[in-house]
Amino acid sequence: MGVSGCGKSTIGKLLAQKLNIPFFDGDDFHPETNIKKMCSGKPLNDDDRQGWLETLNNLAKEQLTTNSCIIVCSALKEKYRTILNEGIQNNSEWVFLEGSFKQILDRINKRENHFMSSNLLKSQFKILEEPKNAIKIDVNLTPNAIVKMIKKELTVKSQFGLFGLGVMGKSLSRNLANKDFKISLFNRHVEKVEVDVAKNFKEQYSELSNAAAFDDIAAFVNSLQTPRKIMLMVNAGKTIDYVIEDLLPHLSENDILIDGGNSNYKKTKERNVYLKTKGIHFIGTGVSGGEEGALKGPSIMPSGDKEAYKQVQPYLEKISAKDKNDLPCCTYIGPEGSGQFIKMVHNGIEYVEMQLLAEVATILKAIGQNPDEISTTLESWKDTASSYLLEITTAIFKKKEGNDWLVNKILDKAGNKGTGNWTTIASAEFGVPSTLIASALFSRYVSFYKEERILLSKSFVTHSNSELNITTNDVLEAYQFARIINHYQGFKLIIEASNKSAWNLNISEIARIWTNGCIIRSTLMEDLVDVFKETTNILTDVELIEKVNQFKPSAKKVISQCVLNDLTTPALSEAIQFLNGITTEYASANVIQAQRDYFGSHTYQRLDDPSGKSHHTNWN
Ligand code: 6PG
Mean pLDDT of 528-543: 98
Quick check: is 26 in a domain?
Answer: yes
* Pocket flag, ligand 1, residue 517 (CB < 6 Å): no
* Pocket flag, ligand 1, residue 340 (CB < 6 Å): no
Quick check: is 439 in a domain?
Answer: yes
Q: Express each pLDDT in 441-498 by its tens digit.
A: 999 999 999 999 999 999 998 876 567 899 999 999 999 999 999 999 999 999 999 9
Q: In sequence order, what are the residues at sequence separation of 6 or more whose Cβ sits closer than 8 angstroms to the Cβ of residue 314?
A: 89, 90
* Pocket flag, ligand 1, residue 289 (CB < 6 Å): yes
Mean pLDDT of 590-599: 98
* Pocket flag, ligand 1, residue 167 (CB < 6 Å): no
For residue 228, the domain's CATH number is 3.40.50.720
Question: Does residue 144 sit in the same domain as residue 175?
Answer: no
Class of residue 613 by CB neighbours under 10 A (exposed 0-12, middle 13-18, buried 19+): exposed
What is the structure's pLDDT at 93?
86
* Pocket flag, ligand 1, residue 415 (CB < 6 Å): yes
The protein residue whose alpha carbon is closest to atom 9 in ligand 1 is: 347
Integer Cα distance of 106 and 435 in angstroms:
71
Question: Does residue 134 sit in the same domain as residue 19?
Answer: yes
For residue 128, the domain's CATH number is 3.40.50.300
Question: Does residue 357 sit in the same domain as residue 372?
Answer: yes
Quick check: is 1 in a domain?
Answer: no
* Pocket flag, ligand 1, residue 303 (CB < 6 Å): no
* Pocket flag, ligand 1, residue 433 (CB < 6 Å): no
Backbone conformation region of residue 502, classed left if phi is above 0, alpha if psi is from -120 to 50, else beta: left
Active-site residue, 350 included: yes
pLDDT at 431 over 90: yes
Ligand 1, residue 419: give the atom nearest the CA: 17
Give the end of a domain, one of 106, 136, 154: 154
**Would you give the DSSP letter of residue 273?**
H
Question: Does residue 405 sit in the same domain as residue 552?
Answer: yes
- Identify the active-site residue in 157, 182, 269, 343: 343
Best residue among 350, 352, 355 to mutate for probing ligand 1's pocket (most ligand atoms within 8 Å of CB) is 350
For residue 355, the domain's CATH number is 1.10.1040.10
The protein residue whose alpha carbon is closest to atom 16 in ligand 1 is: 416
- Give the distance (Å) from ligand 1 centre to CA of residue 481: 24
Best residue among 234, 519, 522 to mutate for probing ligand 1's pocket (most ligand atoms within 8 Å of CB) is 519
Question: Does residue 317 sit in the same domain as residue 239?
Answer: yes
Question: Does residue 24 sit in the same domain as residue 89?
Answer: yes
The domain of 140 spans 8-154
* Pocket flag, ligand 1, residue 348 (CB < 6 Å): no
Ligand 1, residue 290: give the atom nearest the CA: 8
Number of domains in the chain: 4
Best residue among 265, 417, 520 to mutate for probing ligand 1's pocket (most ligand atoms within 8 Å of CB) is 417
338 in Cβ contact with 498 (< 8 Å): yes
pLDDT at 394 over 90: yes
pLDDT at 135 over 90: no
What is the structure's pLDDT at 18?
86
302 in Cβ contact with 258 (< 8 Å): yes
Class of residue 32 by CB neighbours under 10 A (exposed 0-12, middle 13-18, buried 19+): exposed
What is the structure's pLDDT at 334?
98
207 in Cβ contact with 183 (< 8 Å): no
Alpha-carbon distances of 303 from 140, 285, 293, 537, rounded to whole Å: 39, 6, 20, 24
Q: In sequence order, what are the residues at sequence separation of 6 or more whose Cβ sits closer than 8 angstroms to the Cβ of residue 539?
A: 488, 545, 548, 582
Q: Express each pLDDT in 31-52 by its tens digit.
A: 999 989 888 878 888 999 999 9
Q: Express each pLDDT in 305-353 by its tens digit.
A: 999 999 999 999 999 999 999 999 999 999 999 999 999 999 999 999 9
Containing 505, the helix (H) or strand (E) segment is: none
Integer Cα distance of 187 and 7 in angstroms:
41
Per mean pLDDT, which range of 127-131, 247-251, 461-465 is the poorest? 461-465
In single-letter form, the type of residue at position 499 comes to N
Question: Does residue 322 sit in the same domain as residue 386?
Answer: no
* Pocket flag, ligand 1, residue 292 (CB < 6 Å): no
For the chain, the average pLDDT equals 94
Quick check: is 322 in a domain?
Answer: yes
Q: Which residue has the higher pLDDT, 113 or 209?
A: 209
Give the end of a domain, one of 154, 181, 201: 154
Quick check: is 2 in a domain?
Answer: no
- Give the distance (Å) from ligand 1 centre to CA of residue 347: 6
Q: Which phi and psi (to 5°) does residue 224 adopt? A: -105, 145
Mean pLDDT of 604-616: 97
Task: Check: pTM over 0.85? Answer yes or no.
Answer: no
Alpha-carbon distances of 563 from 212, 358, 455, rounded to whole Å: 59, 16, 22
Work out the pLDDT band at 153, boundaries 50, 70, 90: confident
The protein residue whose alpha carbon is closest to atom 12 in ligand 1 is: 417
- Give the distance (Å) from ligand 1 centre to CA of residue 344: 9
* Pocket flag, ligand 1, residue 427 (CB < 6 Å): no
251 in Cβ contact with 275 (< 8 Å): no
Per mean pLDDT, which range of 193-197, 280-284, 529-533 is the poorest? 193-197
Work out the pLDDT band at 115, boundaries 50, 70, 90: low
Ligand 1, residue 354: give the atom nearest the CA: 15
Mean pLDDT of 189-206: 94
**Would you give the DSSP letter of residue 207?**
G
The protein residue whose alpha carbon is closest to atom 1 in ligand 1 is: 288
Quick check: is 430 in a domain?
Answer: yes
Q: In sequence order, what are the residues at sequence separation of 6 or more whose Cβ sits closer than 8 angstroms to the Cβ of residue 169?
A: 162, 163, 187, 233, 234
Question: Does residue 552 sit in the same domain as residue 606?
Answer: no
**Would you give the DSSP letter of residue 485?**
H
Per mean pLDDT, which range of 216-230, 333-347, 414-428, 463-477 is the poorest? 463-477
Question: Does residue 133 sit in the same domain as residue 273?
Answer: no
Percent of the chain having pLDDT more than 70?
Answer: 99
- Identify the active-site residue in 350, 353, 477, 574: 350
* Pocket flag, ligand 1, residue 419 (CB < 6 Å): yes
* Pocket flag, ligand 1, residue 416 (CB < 6 Å): yes
Question: Does residue 369 sit in the same domain as residue 497?
Answer: yes
Question: Does residue 432 sit in the same domain as residue 520?
Answer: yes
What is the structure's pLDDT at 170?
97
**Would you give the DSSP letter of residue 192?**
T
Give the end of a domain, one of 154, 173, 197: 154
Q: Which residue has the higher pLDDT, 115 or 332?
A: 332
272 in Cβ contact with 284 (< 8 Å): yes
Question: Does residue 483 sit in the same domain as residue 521?
Answer: yes
pLDDT at 370 over 90: yes
- Give the distance (Å) from ligand 1 centre to CA of residue 558: 29
The protein residue whose alpha carbon is closest to atom 4 in ligand 1 is: 290
Mean pLDDT of 70-80: 95
For residue 601, the domain's CATH number is 1.20.5.320
Quick check: is 365 in a domain?
Answer: yes
Quick check: is 202 in a domain?
Answer: yes
